[in-house]
Amino acid sequence: MLTATDGQWHPPGTSNNGSGEPAALSITGDVQIDSRSCGPGDVFVALPGERSDGHEFAAAAHRAGAVAVLALRPIQNVPCVVVADPLIALARFAAAIVARVPELVIIGITGSSGKTSTKDLIGDLLSRWGPTVCPIGSYNNDLGLPLTMLRVDQRTRFLVLEMGSRGVGHIARLTEIARPAIGVILNIGTAHLGEFGSIELVAQAKSELLAALPPADDGGVAILNADDASSGYLAGCTAAQVWTFGAGPEADVRYDAVDVSGGGRPRFRLSAGGHQVEVALQLVGAHQAANAAAASAVALSTVARARPPARIEVAATHERLVDIGLGLGAARPRSGLRMELNDRADGVSILNDAYNANPESMRAALDALIAVAGGVRRTWAVLGAMGELGATAHAEHEAVGNEVKQRGVDRLVAVGADAVGIYAGAAGEPAQEEGFVHVPDMSAALHLLRRQLRPGDVVLVKASRYVGLERLADALLEGTEQT
């Protein structure tokens, strides 16, 4: 740890177990960033922050059993590895741990939407073929990525890493911490458009994952969405072998014949290498079929890259495709607040997709709402604002409102001042739709819903993360029995 982080042991000549030598330090637990989670054998990373400083909790972490603290400065009576920057040191330590597993296959995944659901599917599939480490939730930044890497051990065969981006150069930095052999770009959309400024810059930022891949002859595989307008540009950004997934016949891994009549959970045909299999997902939403196809392409590429350049027909045997179909069918939602469907005892269904929102994911969620209702149940769209859209924000919110109307959603509750555009786009000017309302806050929305919901209704709850609309979804379930 000292070598990897270029750190200094403090106090000099001492260790946590009384041996007097830091080399005798035994790290038997996990690396923690929350002192309340620390236990015997752990390492605590003291990160300075805007609201609190991790150094203030180092003593508590040590008392809980942490054998060392990765710190910016010495802390009295606490064994520390003192470094110039704890976050950078954490990344270096993670890279050193991963480097000790030379046969490890690293998969990087990015995209404007669907990253977390897809990485969960990838983790489910690859774990059928060997020990797999996958991020918890949306661990996709400078902190979450190394924390995921530190869960790797000598038995691990696959490491799946979600890579988010807040600007050009961010993914490039993440790939310096962990160099992937397989890279997946799900789509290029309007998420974070306000930060990037243009779709072209979004594509450029995501392409940094592809630039980090090994060339095709060294087993590098880039997996792209054949249905995305940016796929041609992205294919030119890498020397890796390019595979595609999509709904069209030109895709290497194809999904078609999607049917969501069974309560919104898609059934579809998955094809690759001249073989096909029927898949029935337990996840909600037609868009999950595309995520499943991307995950299938990753699983097949881990086999094909062993004989570079990776060829789809080498890996896509009928038996392997059947195994993938079984794995997809067995997959359950792993990350909360993403198409999370709960049924109350009174027959009301709450579809909680409140983790985040952008125009593309809003449309997918509305489609899922309609599919779950099946044309026989009353539908509610409880929608908050979409953040980080920049100059296009008002137009995009109105467009989502129009989508609500076009899909025939029965009731709309637009929540908060930033969501007024959704209401305007749905109700029209002047307002003409009695079932569509705009309320100032979550309290008003909850009051309205508790008065007007009736047995059998289906309620979609969705907004960007900063809105915190998941609290409304939770409140709608509190005090009610769930089936």
Mean pLDDT of 77-98: 96
For the chain, domains (ranges, CATH) are: 2-84 (3.40.1390.10), 101-330 (3.40.1190.10), 340-477 (3.90.190.20)
**SS3 at position 171:** helix
pTM of the model: 0.93
Provide φ and ψ at 260, rounded to 5°.
-115, 25
Inter-residue contact 175 to 98 (CB < 8 Å): no
Q: Give the pLDDT band of residue 23 (cuts 50, 70, 90).
A: low
Using alpha carbons, select from 78, 84, 28 the residue that is nearest to residue 57: 78
Provide φ and ψ at 53, rounded to 5°.
-115, 120
Which amino acid does the sequence have at 378? R
CA–CA distance, 74 with 454 (Å, rounded to integer):
60
pLDDT at 50 over 50: yes
Helices (H) and strands (E) in the chain, counts: 17, 20
Other C-beta atoms within 10 Å of 208: how many? 22
Mean pLDDT of 73-80: 94
Inter-residue contact 193 to 202 (CB < 8 Å): yes
pLDDT of 19 reads 45
For 36, half-sphere exposure in the C-beta direction (CA atoms, 13 angstrom radius) is: 0
Q: Give the pLDDT band of residue 205 (cuts 50, 70, 90).
A: very high
- Residues with Cβ within 8 Å of 356's Cβ and at least 6 positions away in sequence, in order, are 191, 464, 465
Q: Give 172-204 pLDDT, tens digit per residue.
A: 999 999 999 999 999 999 887 888 889 999 999
CA–CA distance, 112 with 389 (Å, rounded to integer):
12
CA–CA distance, 424 with 254 (Å, rounded to integer):
38
Q: Give 120-157 pLDDT, tens digit per residue.
A: 999 999 999 999 999 998 899 999 999 999 999 999 99
Q: Please say whether the dihedral angle defined by the alpha carbons of residues 306, 307, 313 and 319, taken in this order, is positive or negative.
A: negative
Which amino acid does the sequence have at 267? R
Helix ranges restricted to H, 16-135: 58-63, 86-99, 115-126
CA–CA distance, 410 with 404 (Å, rounded to integer):
9
Q: Give 353-402 pLDDT, tens digit per residue.
A: 999 999 999 999 999 999 999 999 999 999 999 999 999 999 999 999 99
**SS3 at position 259:** strand
Helix axes 442-452, 470-477, angle to 10 degrees: 30
